[in-house]
Amino acid sequence: MIDLDRLAEPMIGDDCRAELFSEKYREPLKAACAEDGEIWQLYANNFGPDGFDASIDCYVANPNNRTFVLFDGDEPAGMSSYLGIDPNRQVLEIGGTYYRPHLRGTGFNRRVKDMMLKRAFGCGIRRVEFRVDRRNGRSQAAMKKLGAVREGIMRSDRITWTGHVRDTVWRRRHDPDAPHRPFPVDVDVQRRPLRASLAADGFHPAADARVDAQAIARGWRGRRSAGLGLWLALRRPQRRSGGDQRECEQRLLAGHVVLLDSGGNVSASHISSSCGPARGR
């Protein structure tokens, strides 16, 4: 259960604090955002002098957002928001973050993000996401320092206020105290060469299915605690008839996990049929 009321309460961190946006902060925050007019070219929304009022109104009007004014002492320092709050999934995004130029590179971002993460996890949030324009190297580096795990890039994710078609880098942090579900299949981590592994199980890629190296490269990548990259590389078998088709499908139902180590060497391990049957063509 997410405590939405507490999520919106004022926050106090390490030499930083935050209060929910209200009209009394409109002009001071607008002035702070005007100190760096060029930076808004990298943002999805324009909080510069010409676009501030429309953008802040849009943020505040969304019932799934909570926008905060940040303070360094008694001086406005910038802003940041909880965006897209999803109580059912226990997920939100921290975004729309801006700091006045003199506070960048001082550790202020780390203190603010620690404060906001602590509040989010304390209110029942399980997963916090960060979405950054691929062009914004400074923000990407800052998220990495926070320990946010990079999950990938959403190509052509959105069109920004400038008309730029943005690629978005996704990162996330999980609640360190939340229980984590185990990997949903039983994995035999004995490493064998890929072709030997498939042949040992009677699975012959050339005859039974297409195992496409490019499909593996394009596939979903996860990270195991052992540092291995994980690709699911199952391809629907070619159309067959009679017993050969059924036997081929039974082999495919068992599935295979393709593992690549840090040196790029390919190995494979067998996983149980709890992955479920292949669907579609």
The residues of the chain that CATH labels 3.40.630.30 are: 4-174
- Low-confidence winner among 26-30, 200-204, 223-227 (lowest mean pLDDT): 223-227
Of 180-184, 219-223, 241-245, least confident by mean pLDDT is 219-223
Fold that domain 4-174 belongs to in CATH: Aminopeptidase (3.40.630)
In this prediction, residues 153-178 reach a mean pLDDT of 94
Distance separating alpha carbons of residues 98 and 76, to the nearest angstrom: 11
CA distance 91 to 229: 25
User: Token pair of 102, please?
Assistant: 């003199």
Mean pLDDT score of the chain, rounded to an integer? Answer: 76
Judged by DSSP in three states, 103 sits in helix
Please count the residues of the chain. Answer: 281
Token pair 């540092």: residue: 227
Which pLDDT score is estimated for 257? 43
Opening angle at CA 94, ends 90 and 95, nearest 5 = 140
56-63 long-range contacts, CB within 8 A, separation 24+:
56/21, 56/26, 56/29, 56/30, 59/21, 59/83, 59/96, 60/21
Q: Is the pLDDT of residue 224 over 70?
A: no
For position 178, what pLDDT does the model report?
72
| 3-class DSSP assignment, residue 63 | coil
Q: How many CA atoms lie within 13 A of 107 on its CB side?
A: 3
Q: Answer yes or no: pTM beyond 0.95.
A: no
Confidence (pLDDT) at 1: 84
CA–chain centroid gap for 4, Å, is 22
